[in-house]
Amino acid sequence: EAQVTQNPRYLITVTGKKLTVTCSQNMNHEYMSWYRQDPGLGLRQIYYSMNVEVTDKGDVPEGYKVSRKEKRNFPLILESPSPNQTSLYFCASSLGQGGGYTFGSGTRLTVV
């Protein structure tokens, strides 16, 4: 089944403890992206990648890092999480044509 898989689905962590949210897609998509979703603010792009070793900042990149060492994986790294990074995170991938992005099921992160 064609899909974007994120892990974990739920995560509670403490301020300052480094964490990684993994994202993997099995559709051979070149384009991958991370979004965060917050009440009243909608979905905002954090980082994106157009191909292996090609990444760039989205609208809200502060406090996040990404890497794209392989085409299928695009992990999101929070080096020192803070409470304002408590959010619902989505990974998405696309072939590029049209508007057809495939989203993962989301990761609910709580930083205390």
Partner 1 sequence: GESVGLHLPTLSVQEGDNSIINCAYSNSASDYFIWYKQESGKGPQFIIDIRSNMDKRQGQRVTVLLNKTVKHLSLQIAATQPGDSAVYFCAEKKHAGGTSYGKLTFGQGTILTVHP
Tell me: does residue 52 bind partner 1 (CB under 8 A).
no
Could you say which of 1, 40, 69, 112 contacts partner 1 (CB under 8 A)? 40
Instruction: Report phi then psi at 40, rounded to 5.
Output: 80, -15
Tell me: does residue 84 bind partner 1 (CB under 8 A).
no
Can you say whether the dihedral through the CA atoms of 103, 34, 46, 41 is positive or negative?
positive
**Residue for token digits 């979905």?**
43
Tell me: does residue 48 bind partner 1 (CB under 8 A).
yes
Tell me: does residue 50 bind partner 1 (CB under 8 A).
yes
d(CA 46, CA 64): 8
Vertex 40: Cα angle to 37 and 41 (nearest 5): 50
Tell me: does residue 108 bind partner 1 (CB under 8 A).
yes
Q: Which residues bind partner 1 (CB under 8 A)?
A: 4, 30-31, 33, 35, 37, 39-40, 42-45, 48, 50, 58, 88, 90, 92, 94, 96-106, 108
